[in-house]
Amino acid sequence: MDRSIFRIKRTKTLHQDWKHKKSAELEKQRRDFLEEKRKLEEDRRNFEREKREFSTHCQLEKDSMKREKQLFETKWKILEEELSQLADEKKQMKKKRDFYRYVIEQEVRDIPSVGAENVVRGELFFIGVESKTALKKRYKQLLKIYHPDNLCGDTETLQEINREYDRLLKQYELKQWGSYCSLLTSRSGNVGHFVVSVSGKQELHRGK
């Protein structure tokens, strides 16, 4: 009888120990599972964050490449237009240069050259000019062709052009000044006369 009771108690004790052990194991497994779940959740959040950052980075790179492409296309278009404009300007400049050369060749037989054989007299470049405005316009056109900074520039020819331009400009200014003084004299009703000062400027003196 006592032995049976002992066995029952022992069996009960063993059962409680096993139950306690299993409970501890299950609790440990539960904690491990929760920890693993927490890590997985954290990894998932990190992955989602990295995914968003990568997507944002890719979009920024895409936008940047798009802007760079548009900028490159714009610059390329501008460059093409400038090259085309430069080619047109060179063609126009060549046409004008050929025209003036043709005019010079037609007149050079009667007017001797000045200086080097390939430099013609400056007055040939202003043939047909009959006013101060036309003179300045022709001079600007000639500068575009013969200025040394241009591809077809010629320093000696430009010097001849400048010399003749200065001479003609003084003539037109003197003529304009004379017309102005004559107008003043006619309006005032007085007889005046002109003298040239030491500096070369015309002055009006009233007669007595």
pLDDT tens profile 27-60? 889 889 999 999 999 999 999 999 999 989 999 9
Is the Cβ–Cβ distance between 165 and 135 less than 8 Å? Answer: yes
Q: Are strands 192-196 and 202-206 parallel, antiparallel or unpaired?
A: antiparallel
Q: What is the pLDDT along the chain (208 residues), one digit of tens a residue?
A: 566 776 777 777 877 888 888 888 888 898 899 999 999 999 999 999 999 999 899 999 889 999 999 999 999 999 888 888 888 877 777 767 777 666 666 555 554 444 444 555 667 788 788 888 988 998 988 888 888 787 667 788 888 889 989 999 998 888 877 776 777 776 665 444 444 443 444 444 444 3
Q: Does domain 114-184 have CATH number 1.10.1760?
A: no
pLDDT value at residue 46 = 92
What pLDDT, on the 0 to 100 scale, is given for residue 204? 44
Distance CA 12, CA 190 (A): 152
pLDDT of amino acid 105: 63
Question: What does the pLDDT read at residue 104?
Answer: 63
**3-state secondary structure at position 88:** helix
CB atoms within 10 A of CB 161: 24
DSSP class of residue 148 equals: T
Query: In b/e form, how buried is each residue of 18-31, taking b as 16+ CB within 10 angstroms?
Result: eeeeeeeeeeeeee
End-to-end CA separation in angstroms for the chain: 173
Q: What is the per-residue pLDDT for 173? A: 86
| Inter-residue contact 173 to 133 (CB < 8 Å) | no
List the chain domain ranges. 12-107, 114-184
Half-sphere exposure of residue 191: CA atoms within 13 angstroms, side-chain side: 2
The pTM of this model reads: 0.36
pLDDT given at position 143: 84
